[in-house]
A and B are shown apart, each in its own frame.
Chain A
C-alpha cells in the first residue's frame, strides 16, 4: 500500500498570503496524484488532478506540481473562503490512499 504523507498537518495563515502544502508518496506514483478541498460538513471537492491539471470552475489561485514521490499544492492570494482541510490522493495503484489532511486556518 502506498502511504501519502502531507505537511504540515495544520497551518494558520492570513488573507493574501501564499501557502504551499506538500504530499510525499512512499514510492513513485508518476503523476497519479490529486488534490481535494473539504470544508466542514461538506463533501470533498476536486481541486487539481494528475498533479498539475486544473479543474473547470476552480479558482486559478490553486495550482499543483510535482511528479514521482514529491508533490505540492500552492494557493496564491489566500482568501477567507479557502479555510478548509486539503487532502492528496493517489490512484497509481490499489488500494487508493489519501494523505492525512492539512487543515488551513485563515
Chain B
C-alpha cells in the first residue's frame, strides 16, 4: 500500500533552517508529484509547493518563494522540504502529500503522518 513516512519532530531557533524528509513506498516514486502542506496549531491547511520527483522541477507558493527548497533523492524514494529563515510563525505541522493527476487537475490522495516543527528561542 502507498505510504509516506516523514522524519521526526524538530525544534529550531529563529533564523535557522529545517529540512523535513518524506520517504515514499508502495508505488513508483517518480510517477507522482510530491506536495507540501503545513498546518499551524488549531489552524487550517496551507499549501507550500510541489516537486516532480522525475524531473526535479518545482513550484512554490509566492509566500514561501526564496525561503523554501524542495528536492529529492530518487535512489531512496525520498523527498525533502527545507525552509530557511525560520520565525515563530513557521511553527506548524508539515505534511507531504502525493499528487494524483487527471485531466481535471491534481488531488492529494495520500498524506504523510506530519512533522511538527517548533521555532522557539
Contacts and interface: CB of A to CB of B under 8 A. Distances in A.
Nearest to A101: B44
Given A50-B102, A98-B44, A99-B44, A43 B107 contact: no
Nearest to A92: B105
Given A87-B45, A95-B47, A46 B95 contact: no
B61 to A, nearest CB: 5
Contact of A50 (B46, B62, B95, B104): B104
Contacts, number: 56
Contacts of B97: 44
Contacts of B109: 46, 49, 55
Given A98-B44, A98-B46, A98-B47, A91 B114 contact: no
B35 interface: yes
Interface size class on chain B is 20 to 34
A89 B95 CA distance: 15
Contacts of B102: 50
A16 B99 CA distance: 34
A96 B44 contact: no
A46 to B, nearest CB: 5
Q: Is the contact region of chain A dominated by helix, strand, or loop, or is it mixed? A: loop
B59 interface: yes
Interface in B92-106: 95, 97, 102, 104-106
Nearest to A100: B44
B84 to A, nearest CB: 20
Interface of B: 35, 37, 44-47, 59, 61-62, 95, 97, 102, 104-114
Interface of A: 30-32, 34, 36, 43-46, 49-50, 55, 87, 89, 91-92, 94-101
13 contacts: A30-B104, A32-B104, A36-B108, A43-B113, A44-B45, A46-B110, A55-B109, A89-B107, A92-B105, A94-B59, A98-B44, A98-B47, A100-B44
